[in-house]
Chain A
Amino acid sequence: MRPAAATQARPGAAWAVPGLVFFALFALVPMVGVVYLSLTSWDGLSSPQFTGLNNWSRFLGDGQMWQDTLVTGVLLVGNILVQAPISILLGVWSAGKQRNRAVLSAVFFLPLLLSTAATAVMWRQLLDPNFGIPAKLSGLIGSTDLLGSQSGAVACLVLVTSWQFIPFHTLLYQGAARTVPETLYQAAAIDGAGRVRQFFSITLPQLRNTVVTSTIFMVVGGLTAFDIVLLLTDGGPGTDTSILPFAMYQTAFRTYDYGYASVIASFLLLLATGASFVMVKLSGYDKMTSSLEGM
C-alpha cells in the first residue's frame, strides 16, 4: 500500500515537459540551427546554399577573427582579474553587521539599477575627450582621448564593465560570507590567527562555490558583452575592440553574411559551453542532484 501511494505522490517527468518544449524551441533548436547555417552560404533572402566547411576554413584564415578572439580573451581575463578580488573583499567587508557598512552597501548597489545600455551611454559621455571628466583632468593624464587607442579602449571596457557588475558579484559574496559559521572565526581567534590569516584560511575556502558561480556569470557575460561594445566603442578605434559577439552581429545584421556569422556564433557557443563544462566539473556542481534523492 505505502509504496504505491509514495510513487503516486511524486511528480512524473510530464511536469517538466512544457518548460522543456519551450526551452528546446527557443534555445536548443536554434543551437542546432546555427551549426547547420555555418555550413551554408546565405544572404537571408534566397534559400541557404550548402557549402560544407568553406566558411570554417575562411574563419581559420581570417586574421581579423584571430584578433577578435584575442581581444575577447583579454577582456574576459581582465574583467575577472579586476572584478573577482574587489567583489570578494567588498562582499566580505559588507557582510559585517556594522551600521556604516550597511549604509555604504546601499550606495555601492546603485550601479545595478542602470541597464548596460544606460551605463554605456553614461560613460561614453563622461569619457568624452572634450566635455567629459578627462578634459577636466588633462593636467594629470597625458591624452584625454581614452577611447582613442586600442589599449585605452580595452581598459575602458574593463573598467566600465567592472563598475557595473562588481555590485552584483559583491552581493553574491556578501550573501555567502554571511553563511560562514561564526564559530570557525572564534576558534581561529583563540588559536591566535589574525585578520588576514582568518581571511585566507577560513573565509576564502568557505566561499569556493560562490567563486565558481560568480566566475561562470562573468565568463558567459563576457562572451555576450555586445551591447557595451556597441554603445561605448562601436568596435573602435577601427576594429580594435571588435570582440567576437560584436563581430558576429556586424557580419550577420550589417553585411548580411549569415553563413559566416553562424561560424562565429558556433565558435562562441563552443567557448561558452566548454568553459562552463570545465568549471562545473571542477566544482562538482552537477552532483547537487543527488543530495536528497532516493530518501
Chain B
Amino acid sequence: MRSRPNYLAGIAAFAWLLIIGTPLYALVNSAFMSQSGYSDRGPLSLPSGITFENFATVVDSGFLRYLWNTILVAAATVAIVLLLAVPISYAVVRGTSWLTRGVFRLFLLGLAIPAQAVIIPLFLIINRLGFYDSLWGVILPTAAFSLPVSVLVISGGMREISVELYEAMTLDGARPGRILWDLVIPLSRSSIASASVFAALQAWNGFLFPLIMTQSDSNKLVTLGLYNFVSEYGANIPALLAAVLMSALPILLVYLFARRALVAGLMGAGGK
C-alpha cells in the first residue's frame, strides 16, 4: 500500500545528489589535472590528460608520515576510550550507590563541554605532564573528550540486557568482573563498536589539539599537514586538492570494505 513511488521525493533526492556530487567531482577531477590545465579549464571541466604529479608532490612533502601519525592517534584514542568507558558504563548501569548515578549525570553534562573552552588550562596540564609536542599530547585530551558520548552510547546498549541474565549468572556465583567479561561485553558489542567508530572519527577530525599540543614536523597529524600545505603550496591548487583527497584515503578504504559497520556504528552514536 505504501509502495506507490514518491516522485517528488525522488526529484529532491536527485537535487541533493547534485549538491553532494558536484564538489566531489570537482575535487577528484582537479586532483588529477596539471596546474596549467586547472587554470585553463577550471574544476568542473570534463576529465582529460590525467596526471599523477600532484600526488607525487603531496607524498614528497611528507604527507605519508602525517597519515601514519593520525592512524596511531586514532588507534590509541579508541583503546583508551574503551578501556575507561566500558567499566564506567558497567558501573553506571549496574551499580547501586548514589555515586554511580551522579557519574551518569556528570558525563551527560560533560557532553556539552566544548574542547575550545578549556584549551588554555589543558595546554598547561599537558606541558606539566611533559607531553607537549608528542602524540600523547593529542591522544590524551582527545580520548577524554570522547568519553561522554562513549559512556552514553555504551551504557545505553548495556541497559538493553535483561535482568534475568544477570540473575542467572549471579546465582552461578559469578563476580562483577566475570559478568562484565562473559555477559555484558558480548551483549553490548554493537554499542561498543559505535563508540569506537565515533572516537576514531573524533581523532581523525581533530584539529585544535594537534594545532596547540604539537609543534615538530615528526609529530604532525594529517589535518595540520593540510593546514601547512595551504601556506606552502597555496598557489598549486591541484596539488592542494590532491592532498585533500589523500587525507581521506584511509577512511575511504574503511568505507569501501566495512561500510555497513561504519554506518551502523555512526548511526548508534545518536543513542536511542
Kindly list chain B residues whose C-beta atoms are within 8 Å of the C-beta of A253.
212
5 A-B pairs in the complex with CB atoms less than 8 angstroms apart: A19-B88, A34-B121, A104-B17, A121-B226, A220-B114
CB-based contact B23/A123 at 8 Å? yes
- From A10, A22, A210, residue with most partner B Cβ within 10 Å: A10
CB-based contact A111/B20 at 8 Å? yes
- From B92, B119, B212, residue with most partner A Cβ within 10 Å: B119
Cα–Cα distance between A195 and B1 once the two chains are bound (Å): 11
Segment at the interface with B among A25-33, A55-63, A73-81, A147-155: A25-33
Cα–Cα distance between A245 and B212 once the two chains are bound (Å): 14
Q: Is B72 an interface residue (CB 8 A)?
A: no
B40 → chain A closest CB, angstroms: 10
Q: Is B64 an interface residue (CB 8 A)?
A: no
> Which chain A residue shows the least CB distance to B230?
A121
Could you list 15 further interchain pairs (A-B, Cβ under 8 angstroms) beyond the known A34-B118, A249-B208, A291-B159? A9-B175, A10-B94, A13-B97, A16-B91, A23-B84, A26-B144, A30-B118, A30-B119, A93-B13, A113-B248, A115-B204, A118-B223, A132-B43, A167-B20, A213-B271
Cα–Cα distance between A86 and B19 once the two chains are bound (Å): 12
Q: Is A282 an interface residue (CB 8 A)?
A: no
Q: Is A295 an interface residue (CB 8 A)?
A: yes
CB-based contact B26/A126 at 8 Å? yes
B125 → chain A closest CB, angstroms: 7
Interface residue ranges of B248-272 to A (CB < 8 Å):
248, 251-252, 255, 259, 263, 266-272
Q: Is A139 an interface residue (CB 8 A)?
A: no
Q: Is A140 an interface residue (CB 8 A)?
A: no
Kindly list chain A residues whose C-beta atoms are within 8 Å of the C-beta of B88.
15-16, 19-20
CB-based contact A27/B145 at 8 Å? yes
CB-based contact B252/A113 at 8 Å? yes
A118 → chain B closest CB, angstroms: 5
Which of A22, A34, A291 meets B120, CB within 8 Å?
Answer: A34
The count of chain B contact residues (Cβ–Cβ below 8 Å) is 112
B63 → chain A closest CB, angstroms: 12
CB-based contact A27/B144 at 8 Å? yes
Cα–Cα distance between A262 and B27 once the two chains are bound (Å): 39
Which of A6, A113, A216 meets B112, CB within 8 Å?
Answer: A216
Given A107-B21, A133-B26, A185-B2: A9 in contact with B166 (beta carbons within 8 A): yes
Cα–Cα distance between A273 and B114 once the two chains are bound (Å): 9
CB-based contact B109/A110 at 8 Å? no
Q: Is A37 an interface residue (CB 8 A)?
A: yes
Contact bitstring B36-54, A, C-beta under 8 A = 1, else 0: 0011001110000000000
Cα–Cα distance between A122 and B174 once the two chains are bound (Å): 55
Kindly list chain B residues whose C-beta atoms are within 8 Å of the C-beta of A118.
223, 226, 244, 247-248
Q: Is B90 an interface residue (CB 8 A)?
A: yes
- From B38, B120, B248, residue with most partner A Cβ within 10 Å: B120
Cα–Cα distance between A295 and B17 once the two chains are bound (Å): 49
Q: Is B147 an interface residue (CB 8 A)?
A: yes
Listed in ascending order, the chain B residues whose CB lies under 8 Å from chain A are 1-2, 6, 9, 12-13, 16-17, 19-24, 26-27, 30, 38-39, 42-44, 80, 84-85, 87-88, 90-97, 99-101, 103-122, 124-125, 140-141, 143-145, 147-148, 151, 156, 159, 163, 166, 169-171, 173-176, 179-180, 204-205, 207-208, 212, 222-224, 226-227, 229-230, 237, 240-241, 243-244, 247-248, 251-252, 255, 259, 263, 266-272
Q: Is A157 an interface residue (CB 8 A)?
A: no
B167 → chain A closest CB, angstroms: 8
Which of A110, A172, A265 meets B117, CB within 8 Å?
Answer: A265
Kindly list chain B residues whose C-beta atoms are within 8 Å of the C-beta of A224.
114-116, 208
Which of B26, B116, B170 meets A226, CB within 8 Å?
Answer: B116
Kindly list chain A residues whose C-beta atoms are within 8 Å of the C-beta of B84.
18-19, 22-23
CB-based contact B20/A31 at 8 Å? no
A149 → chain B closest CB, angstroms: 21
CB-based contact B23/A122 at 8 Å? yes
Interface residue ranges of A247-266 to B (CB < 8 Å):
248-249, 252-253, 258, 261-262, 265-266
Given A231-B227, A262-B120: A13 in contact with B248 (beta carbons within 8 A): no
- From B180, B227, B266, B270, residue with most partner A Cβ within 10 Å: B270
> Which chain A residue shows the least CB distance to B24?
A110
A97 → chain B closest CB, angstroms: 10
Cα–Cα distance between A37 and B109 once the two chains are bound (Å): 22
CB-based contact A195/B114 at 8 Å? no
CB-based contact B118/A27 at 8 Å? yes
Q: Is A116 an interface residue (CB 8 A)?
A: yes
Kindly list chain A residues whose C-beta atoms are within 8 Å of the C-beta of B174.
9
Kindly list chain A residues whose C-beta atoms are within 8 Å of the C-beta of B173.
5
Interface residue ranges of A261-295 to B (CB < 8 Å):
261-262, 265-266, 268-269, 272-273, 275-277, 280, 285-286, 288-289, 291-293, 295
Kindly list chain A residues whose C-beta atoms are within 8 Å of the C-beta of B104.
286, 288-289
> Which chain A residue shows the least CB distance to B88?
A19
A-B complex: 4 closest residue pairs judged by Cβ atoms:
A33-B121, A26-B144, A276-B112, A30-B118
